[in-house]
Amino acid sequence: MAVYERAWRRYQGPITPLRTRFLVVTRFALGEVFSSRLFTAFYVLSLLPSLLALFLIYLRHNVGLLEQMGLTPEFMGALTMTFFQLLFSWQAVPAFFIALIVSPSLIAADLSNSALPLYLARPIDRRDYVIGKMAVLFLLLSPVTWIAGLLIFALQSYLEGGGWWLENYRIAVAYLVGHLSWILVISLLSLAVSAWVRYKPVARGALFAVLFILSGFSEAVNGITGSSVGDLMNLSKAMVSVVQHLFGGFSPSRLPVAANWATLIGTGIISIWLLNRKLRAHEEVR
């Protein structure tokens, strides 16, 4: 068709509802993430701790299989609270590395290539844009963390029978609340770092520094002041303390659990403020 014969026509195709329009951003971002075979392989490996836990629980309750392997039921012992606490860590650490790999490319690439105005020129706003990018991390991290954790808890409850799930309900609460809190905080923090540091290697280094180097600095503050005030800056210790409280275990921080929650909430609020400052459709010249 010649150019002069082309006329403007109203779009007649399906229209995405306003409430789920942010998922368009999520869908294309997920497609780009899984275009890397190396990342896909790493993501599958991140599920191994949960798969191993499922196998151990099944083995614990299968006497015939234990006998075939030359083992006794006493060999497995009891699946205590310590087992589920260790499993939580084995799930949370790979989740952090997934966020470390994925998050720098979610926003930094759009800002580096001046693509943000193209997003906001569509019928989405900055909130939808951020939620769409956060949904990428939520969908990636959930199967590795709280979904797998609750499935493991459900299998153990079914095989153990009786009132085991009532006696150990704190495990399910810890997996749900602890992992969701970790996903929310690490997603907001990683997106904020990605927005302000446009180079992927530097962004990954900055996120790593916030969690680990800042932890060392907080311990130095505790040593100098002879108090626990430095724990307010220690995001990783605050997360561990909150999770241990949910499990009913010993907290590594001497601060009350409310202060640890304040550290997590404060990190989220600062991250939202940084995103709000950086994500603009144009640069302001003063």
283 domain residue, yes or no: no
Cα–Cα distance measured from residue 199 to residue 195, given in angstroms and rounded to the nearest whole number: 10
Cα–Cα distance measured from residue 236 to residue 258, given in angstroms and rounded to the nearest whole number: 15
2 domain residue, yes or no: no
Measuring CA to CA, which residue among 144, 170, 143, 165 is closest to residue 244?
170
57 domain residue, yes or no: yes
6 domain residue, yes or no: no
Cα–Cα distance measured from residue 233 to residue 14, given in angstroms and rounded to the nearest whole number: 48
pLDDT at position 186 is 93
Q: Are 129 and 282 in contact (CB under 8 A)?
A: no
pLDDT at position 255 is 85
pLDDT at position 51 is 94
286 domain residue, yes or no: no
Terminal Cα distance for the chain, rounded: 48
Residue 114 tokens read as: 């001046």
Estimate the share of the chain in helix, then strand, then coil, as percent rounded to the nearest 5. Answer: 75, 0, 25
pLDDT at position 284 is 43
pLDDT at position 63 is 66
Cα–Cα distance measured from residue 144 to residue 46, given in angstroms and rounded to the nearest whole number: 7
User: Which residue numbers in the chain have pLDDT < 70?
Assistant: 1-11, 63-79, 281-286
46 domain residue, yes or no: yes
11 domain residue, yes or no: no
The burial class, CB within 10 Å (0-12 / 13-18 / 19+), for 17 is exposed
pLDDT at position 283 is 46
The model carries a pTM of: 0.85
Question: In total, how many domains does the chain have?
Answer: 1
Domain coverage including residue 121: 19-65+78-278
3 domain residue, yes or no: no
Q: Are 28 and 35 in contact (CB under 8 A)?
A: no
